[in-house]
């Protein structure tokens, strides 16, 4: 290596946070609320990981910015889901335009991650070899295509899950290899610790959802007292026991 990296857990810890966050964000399970929980936890973990890596190169900085945008989008969607806003926008062009935002941000983040790894390897004097990260891009593009075409069936699910496991296992092996080779980062300076930041994020989300339930969960109503008077013109035609 032209640029010497000493063995350190800083790179490994941050990269594992990123990898775990990406895996949870890519996994979609539509039961027990996991379709909301997993992407949210994944977005937070990716944000924390890229927060440490953001000073390593410009591509990691791009990943960090995209992670922030994803986090804002997901938090905004969760808070909006506690109100009547989404039901009012159902079928509208605005909602249709917002739906592809998260997949687009994820795809862009995967591309930046691939380039960030290649740049990191190149700076270390090695031949860039991050094919595993490029495989993640291909897998996600295929997943989006399957969703667009609305392909269903057990075989499709098995293929998606098998591809997910294989891609992230190979990525984990790549990151482990880079850690064993002695890659090190200098974590970017931060005013808040991860624990404090997690508390802030949880408070923002819970406060937003609480406000959504309290103030945005009901349609505006204007109640007036209505007096109803029954008039029978042909009272003789009424039944006797009326």
The full DSSP string for 64-104 is: HHHHHHHHHHHHHHHHHTTSSHHHHTTT-HHHHHHTTHHHH
**Overall average pLDDT of the 144-148 stretch:** 84
Residue 1 maps to a domain: no
Q: So what's the pLDDT on residue 96?
A: 77
- Please indicate, yes or no, if residue 4 is contained in any of the structural domains: no
Query: Residue 95 above 90 pLDDT?
Result: no
Lowest-pLDDT choice from 81-85, 110-114, 117-121, 225-229:
225-229
User: 5: pLDDT confidence band, cut at 50, 70 and 90?
Assistant: very low
Q: Which residues constitute the domain of residue 106?
A: 9-237
**Per-residue confidence at 128, pLDDT binned at 50, 70, 90?**
confident
Residue 27 backbone zone (phi > 0: left; psi -120 to 50: alpha; other: beta): beta
Of 157-166, 185-194, 217-226, minimum mean pLDDT range: 217-226
Cβ contacts of 54 within 8 Å, gap of 6 or more: 60, 61, 63, 64, 188
* Positions of E strands within the chain: none
* Block residue for tokens 């802030």: 200
- The reply to whether 211 falls in a domain is yes
| Within-domain flag for 2 | no
Is the CB of residue 217 less than 8 Å from the CB of residue 82?
A: yes
Mean pLDDT of 81-106: 80
Q: Give the separation between CA 36 and CA 178, rounded to whole angstroms.
A: 33
As a whole number of Å, the end-to-end CA separation of the chain is 100
Residue 189 lies in a domain: yes
Q: What is the rounded average pLDDT of the residues 145-174?
A: 86
Tally of structural domains, the chain? 1
Length in residues, the chain: 242
Q: Are 18 and 50 in contact (CB under 8 A)?
A: yes
In a domain, 162, yes or no: yes
At 107 the pLDDT is 92
The model's pLDDT over 34-90, given as tens digits with 9 standing for 90+, comes to 878 888 999 999 999 999 888 888 999 999 999 999 999 999 988 888 887 777 667
Does 16 reside within a domain? yes
Residue 242, domain member (yes or no): no
**CB-based contact 73:44 (threshold 8 Å):** no
Q: Can you give the pLDDT at residue 1?
A: 40
The average pLDDT across 163-173 equals 89
Distance CA(166)–CA(27), nearest Å, equals 13
Alpha carbons 118 and 131: distance in angstroms, whole number = 9
pLDDT tens, position by position, 190-242:
777 888 889 999 999 999 888 888 886 665 655 556 655 454 445 545 455 44
């Amino acid at each position: 290596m032209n640029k010497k990296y000493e063995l350190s857990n800083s790179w490994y810890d941050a990269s594992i946070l990123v990898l775990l966050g990406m895996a949870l964000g890519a996994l979609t399970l539509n039961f027990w609320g996991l379709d909301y929980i997993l992407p949210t936890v994944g977005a937070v973990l990716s944000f924390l990981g890229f927060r440490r890596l953001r000073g390593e190169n410009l591509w990691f900085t791009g990943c960090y910015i995209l992670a922030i945008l994803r986090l804002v989008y997901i938090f905004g969607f969760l808070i909006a889901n506690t109100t009547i806003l989404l039901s009012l926008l159902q079928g509208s062009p605005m909602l249709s335009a917002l739906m592809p935002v998260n997949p687009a941000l994820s795809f862009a983040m995967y591309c930046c991650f691939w380039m960030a790894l290649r740049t990191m390897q190149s700076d270390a004097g090695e031949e860039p070899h991050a094919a595993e990260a490029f495989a993640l891009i291909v897998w996600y593009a295929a997943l989006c295509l399957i969703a667009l075409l609305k392909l269903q069936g057990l075989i499709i699910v098995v293929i998606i899950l098998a591809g997910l496991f294989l891609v992230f296992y190979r990525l984990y092996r790549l990151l482990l290899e880079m850690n064993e080779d002695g890659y090190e980062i200098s974590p970017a300076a931060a005013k808040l610790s991860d624990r404090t930041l997690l508390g802030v994020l949880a408070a923002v989300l819970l406060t937003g959802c609480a406000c959504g339930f309290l103030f945005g969960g009901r349609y505006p109503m204007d109640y007036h007292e209505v007096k109803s008077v029954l008039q029978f013109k042909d009272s003789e035609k009424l039944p006797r026991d009326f």
